[in-house]
Amino acid sequence: MIERARKLLGAGRGAPGGGGSASAEYGRTASFLAIGVGLTGVITYVYFFIASHVLSKPDYGQITVLWSAVFITISTLYRPVEQLLSRHISEHLARAESIGGTTRNAATIQLGLALLFAVLALALRGPIQNGLLEGNETLYWVYFSAVLFYAASYFARGFLAGVKRFGLFTALILSESCFRTLFAVLVAVSLLSGQSWVAVGIVAAPSLSLMVVPLAFARGARAAPPSTAAAEGTSVSVAHGTGFAAAVLVIMFSEQAFLNAGPLIVRALDGAAAAGFIFNVLMLARAPLQLFQAVSTSILPHLTSLHTSTDPDSEREFRRSVRGVLVGIGAFTAVMALAVVVAGPQLMQLAFSNKFSYDRIGLLLVAAGTGLYLSSVTVNQACVAQGQVRRAAARWIFCAALFIGWNFVPLVSDEFRRVEIGFTLAAGVLLGLLYLVYRRPHERPEDVPAPGSAEELEMRLAAVDENT
């Protein structure tokens, strides 16, 4: 699927809208980033592979609940500043303006959000520790510390993306996955033992990876242009740059709901061990999505170039590219479904230990939902290229709410089947709604993300940041 998509994307790189050498360099950095994201996804899978084998069902379930809680929290708190920081730094550097004011203001906002979280998390320690984390004090402090350290990590991501230091950006997210998985490996080889050390990997990821940050800011400072009065007069704020950025953030939050709300809901209804089971089932969707990011981060500039091109064949090529990726996803989904029919439960037990028993019907539902979800991501990128990110965001948040709401309606008595059906149902509705937006466009010219622009950078970050 990915190889087919790359060939299709490569066909349109000659479209007007970018200079030769600059476009080639941009393509190389995008490919490097995509490879890094793919490796990050593989290493993250290894973390859960090891954890599921070395921990009991309840202990592993608590790890998946902790993971889901951390990523929903940090996405809600820190992604707005990451997105706005990357956008404003990119815009200032394009105008040869200083980025000092932007960086300082963003740091102040991020620090304020981290302090707000610390106060609320300490005030709500009882409900979080006893209600969500089964009374486990260690997991509470891992949750507390990880969210605080991710404030610095997401700030660094926004800065590195803004100054286009994609090599260091990739090193940061890759090192996070490596440090996290290292602790699971140490438990597996008996140098460490128990759930607590596996959990420590979740806080070690953002804290130890920050060793990359001093190098990043040193290089960024050397690359920054001289300060000017005009530059200091325009700096980042939460109120500035809404619209496109807000729509992107809505989409990102909705993605988190699709992938992480299920385990948290099942935990509330049926306990930690059940949450671990449904987390593994949804990993059937999460793992392909991590690899598919290599396509989703590359397709947007290609489609945008075609959409803004004056070539009479560009619109036909635009639709051909989208159709080609969707055909590739369809073929991939068919192969996945065939694998599930032949040996799905056995493969899941091989991947996540034989502590859980999996049924083919549930796995087939999630496999179908995976194809629908990946197709939705593809059509979403086409909508963004058409300048329709706000219309797309409204469809995303509606379907995320549909998925969450469905899981609390006992039309299906089995909580696991309810999540599996809900995921597939919501993904199908999302694809249908986004396809209607794609086929009946109402463009906002200011929302068309030109290749290399701050807007396109935001969408790339949205694709890359998913659970990394």
pLDDT digits (tens, 9 = 90+) for 25-44: 545 555 667 677 778 888 98
3-class SS at 214?
Answer: helix
CA-CA distance, 21 to 149, in Å (whole number)?
38
**Greatest mean pLDDT range, 7-16, 90-99, 346-355:** 346-355
| pLDDT tens readout for residues 126-170 | 999 998 998 999 999 999 999 999 999 989 888 887 787 778 888
The predicted structure's pLDDT at residue 218: 58
Give pLDDT, residue 464: 59
pLDDT band at 79 (very low <50, low <70, confident <90, very high): confident
**208 or 32, greater pLDDT:** 208
What's the pLDDT score for residue 17? Answer: 41
Give pLDDT tens digits for 314-337.
888 889 989 999 999 999 999 999
Three-state DSSP state, 463: helix
Distance of CA 80 to the CA centre of its chain: 14
Q: What is the pLDDT of residue 23?
A: 46
Task: Please report the pLDDT score of residue 298 as a whole number.
Answer: 66
Is 170 in a helix, a strand, or coil? helix
Identify the band that residue 457 occupies on the pLDDT scale cut at 50, 70 and 90.
Answer: low
Q: Scan for tokens 């409204």, then name that residue.
A: 394
> What pTM, to 2 d.p., does this model score?
0.80
217 HSE (CA, 13 A, CB side)? 12
Which residues have C-beta within 8 Å of that of residue 246, sequence separation ≥ 6?
Answer: 393
Reference 294, options 80, 44, 27; nearest CA is: 27
Q: Which residue has the higher pLDDT, 54 or 444?
A: 54
Confidence tier at 179 by pLDDT (50, 70, 90):
very high
The CA-atom distances, in angstroms, between 226 and each of 91, 99, 159, 165 are 15, 9, 17, 19
Max mean pLDDT range (270-274, 307-311, 367-371): 367-371
Rounded CA gap, 115 and 304, in Å? 39
Question: Which pLDDT does position 12 carry in this prediction?
Answer: 44
Instruction: Say which residues have a Cβ less than 8 Å from residue 374's Cβ, sequence separation at least 6.
Output: 288, 289, 292, 329, 332, 333
Q: How confident is the model at residue 213 (pLDDT cuts 50, 70, 90)?
A: low
Which pLDDT value is given to residue 28? 59
Query: Among 404, 275, 350, which Cα is nearest to 45's?
Result: 350
- Please give the DSSP secondary-structure letter assigned to residue 225: P
Token representation of residue 304: 């945008």
Averaged pLDDT of the chain: 82
3-state secondary structure labels for all residues of 287-325: HHHHHHHHHHHHHHHHHHHHHHCCCCCHHHHHHHHHHHH
Q: Evaluate whether 446 touches 384 at the Cβ level (below 8 Å).
A: no
Q: Using CA atoms, how far apart are residues 75 and 110, in angstroms rounded to an integer? A: 13
Q: Coil, strand or helix: which one is 239?
A: coil
| pLDDT, mean of residues 227-240 | 45
Give the confidence band of 239 by pLDDT, cuts at 50, 70, 90. very low
Tokens of 183: 């602790």
- Where helices occur in 210-271 by DSSP H, the ranges are 212-223, 229-232, 244-270
Greatest distance between any 2 Cα atoms in the chain: 67
Task: Give the start-end residues of each E strand in 53-185.
Answer: none
Report the pLDDT value the prediction gives residue 269, as an integer from 0 to 100.
87
**Cβ pair 237, 102 in contact under 8 A:** no
Find the angle CA(65)-CA(71)-CA(74) to the nearest 5 degrees: 135
117 or 410: whose pLDDT is higher? 117
Looking at mean pLDDT, say which of 105-114, 201-210, 423-432 comes out highest: 423-432
